[in-house]
Every structure is written in C-alpha cells, then in structure tokens.
Amino acid sequence: MSPSPSAAPSRRRKAVIAAAAALLLAACGGNGEHQFPPPDVSVAAVVQKSVTEWDDYSGHVEAIESAEIRPRVSGHLRRIAYREGGLVTKGQLLFTIDDREYAAAADAARADAARAEARIALAKQELARAEQLIAARAVSQGELDARRMEAQQADADLLAAQARLARAELDLGFTRVTAPFEGRAGAALVKPGNVVNANQTLLTTLVSVDPVYVTFTGDERAYLRYQELARNGSRGSSRDTRNPVLVGLANEDGFPHQGEMDFLDNALDPASGTIRARAVLPNPDGVFTPGLFARVRLLGASRDDALLIHEQAVLTDQDRRYVYVLGANDSAERRDVALGPHVEGLRVVLSGLKPGDKVIVNGMRKIFFPGQPVNPRDVPMDQPNLPPPAPAPAAG
C-alpha cells in the first residue's frame, strides 16, 4: 500500500530534525558539553621591593594669619587707601576716618599737659620759699606741709594730663586704619561718607599669603597606626617631627607641592572619630588661596619587602576584594587580598599574595568561574593594558 500524501511532509520534518541533532551533537564533541576556547588574558608578576608608603587625605587651605579689620574710633569714613583684593604690606594705610575732632581733642590735652607743667613749676617755687622761711620761723610747719602737698598734687596732675594726651594722640592715630600684617586685603565693605562705629563696623578682611596651612583630618585607625610606628621607631610622630607632606590641587595631576607637618591636635573628636592635623606649605607664587580644596599625601611607613600590584587587577565581591592568580595548568585561581596605600602608581598588598605570583591584570571579565583555563600573556605590572605585539609581515 502506498503512503498517504500527508505522511510524506511529516517524514521530511523528522529527517531534518534528526540531521540538525546530529550536527549539534558533533559540534558539542559528542558528549553534550560545549568546549569554549580559553580566553586571552594579560598576567604580570607581583612586584616586590622596598617602598615608602604615603597615606592620602582630603583637606583645605587656610591662611596662617587672618584678621577682620574694624575701626578703633568712631566717625565718618573719609577715604579707602588700598586696592581692593590686592596685596598690602604691614603698616600700609587702608582707610582714613575724619580726624578733625580727634585732632582738636589732642590739642586740648596737650594744652592741659602744658598747664600742669606750669603748676608744677609754681608749686616747686612755693615749696622752696617755704623751706627757706621755715628756718627763720617766718612760716609755720603747717604752711610748709601745705606747700609740699601742693607740689605733689601738681606732679599727679601732670601725670594725668600726660595720660589724657597719650590717649588723645592714640585716638588721632586710630583715624588711620593700617594693615596689621602683610597679606591680601578683601573688598571694602563700607564706602566713604558712612559713619563707622569703634570696634564694631567691619571694614574689610585681611589674610596672609605666604606660607599657608593645609588642614585635614585622619581617622582613628590611621592615628593608632602612626602611634605604633612612632613607638617602634619606624616613623617620628608628627607632634615632634616635621614629617613631609605632598599636596595637589583639584586641577593638578599628582602632588606637585611639598610641605611639612606643623600641628597635630591633642584629642580626637569623639563624634566623628577623627583627629585634626595641619601642614604648612610655602606659597611664594600665590598658588594657594584660603578655602581651596587640597589633596594631601602624608608620609607613612617604610617596608623593605612590600608586594605591589596594579589597581586594575582588583575585583570586588560585596565587601571583599580579590584578584585572579595564574594557577596550575594556566587556570584562574581566586585570591582574596587586603590592600594598603598607593605607592608609585601601584597598590600595596598586605595579605593574600606571595612573591612570584602572577596576577591577571587584563581580561578578568572573561573569567566566569575560579579554575577556568586561560591563555596568558606576560606584561609589566605597571602597563596592564599593553597591547600584544603586531604579527610579523608574511614573507613574499
């Protein structure tokens, strides 16, 4: 009996499915497991050498000297005598206040002092005459005592008059507001013609320029570590030693400016668990302006046999950091690591690696499980992205 017309397409479909299954089985090596080629990765040997560690902090620039310039006497502001925002020298005139009232008061005090001096001269003459007459019994002892008291009172009156004169001359001098130190003056906050009040009205501000402070805070762990280094003699305490400090601004690469530690606070802030520290830096070119953000690098410990790797090799698994190391038979072996500070573009490894290990520094994203075979290519640790050499041209 011949097959029905509808059975022929069904047999053809079964044949196609069977052929496809045979091809798939052949592609899978006949055992049902797909064999991926090992991914290309770059590996670099762990660097071991003596290093000096530097710890990084964030801080800001402060002026060593700063002042709010206020008048010592009241009166009408007459003149602004400096360029706003410009550099001024110590003692330079900044403002003048109408001094006519104070000049008149100084003249009056000077006249009082002269009058007191004349009274002294007269009292001394009267005392000398009384002393001569007492010998001849021409005056009584009481009158002599009175002349002596008048002379003493005249001396006291002169001292009081001289004090009033000194005060009046001070007030007259205070009508000239001068810079207490060299620095950069701010904007004039009061314009001429306005009345200023003694010790109240803010005229301007003044900040010193060279050198400057860079203030930053360190956490409790860092503080305890520095204390331990100081105790074992590895590094002097910044309270007693002017440890070197490197500083960089927001628009600068690296840390091009060098200073030294100047101050470490006497207690930690219990609310934040930090301690305030301060470095001093020369600023002859005025690069640093108070209030600028600064990146600070402080001298840490020295290690004779530190292990270093490139930051690019480090991966993160929740709160753990790890790297892949080239294991037996060119397999990727996971190692959890504890990291230290940056040194010369590399990262110090505190634990998890040993000398001679080769770390995968490029191609880690191609590794899907520990133990996966890889195709390694050696590169320098400081050049993890070094491309492979170009193939040699074909001879022809």
Q: For residue 252, what pLDDT is reported?
A: 87
Q: For residue 28, what pLDDT is reported?
A: 46
Mean pLDDT of 17-34: 44
Domain span at 82: 74-98+175-207
Residues 93, 203 within the same domain: yes
Q: For residue 392, what pLDDT is reported?
A: 60
Instruction: Evaluate whether 46 touches 378 at the Cβ level (below 8 Å).
Output: no
Q: For residue 145, what pLDDT is reported?
A: 67
Q: For residue 12, what pLDDT is reported?
A: 54
Distance CA 239, CA 196 (A): 44
What is the percent of the chain with per-residue pLDDT over 90, rounded to a whole number? 42
Residues 138, 250 within the same domain: no
| pLDDT tens by residue, 194-252 | 999 999 999 999 999 999 999 999 888 888 888 888 888 878 888 888 888 999 998 98
Rounded mean pLDDT of the chain?
Answer: 83
The answer on pLDDT for 18 being more than 60 is: no
| pLDDT tens by residue, 77-89 | 999 999 999 999 9
The answer on pLDDT for 115 being more than 60 is: yes
Q: For residue 303, what pLDDT is reported?
A: 75
CATH of the domain at 145: 1.10.287
Q: For residue 130, what pLDDT is reported?
A: 67
Q: 302, 332, 348: which is the final residue of a domain?
A: 302
The answer on pLDDT for 384 being more than 80 is: yes
Q: 249, 267, 302: which is the final residue of a domain?
A: 302
Q: 241, 267, 302: which is the final residue of a domain?
A: 302
CATH of the domain at 331: 2.40.420.20
Residues 93, 195 within the same domain: yes
Q: For residue 88, what pLDDT is reported?
A: 94
Mean pLDDT of 168-184: 93
| pLDDT tens by residue, 339-382 | 887 777 888 898 899 998 999 999 888 888 888 899 999 999 88
Q: For residue 22, what pLDDT is reported?
A: 45
Residues 91, 168 within the same domain: no
For 207, how many CA atoms within 13 A lie in the half-sphere containing its CB? 17
Residues 145, 225 within the same domain: no
Residue 260, in any domain of the structure: yes
Would the pTM of this model clear 0.85, i.e. be above it? Answer: no
Mean pLDDT of 50-63: 86
Residues 220, 296 within the same domain: yes
Residue 387, in any domain of the structure: no
Which helix (H) or strand (E) segment holds residue 207: the answer is strand 204-207
Distance CA 16, CA 22 (A): 10
| pLDDT tens by residue, 300-327 | 777 778 899 999 999 998 888 999 999 8
Count how many domains the chain has. Answer: 4
Distance CA 49, CA 396 (A): 48
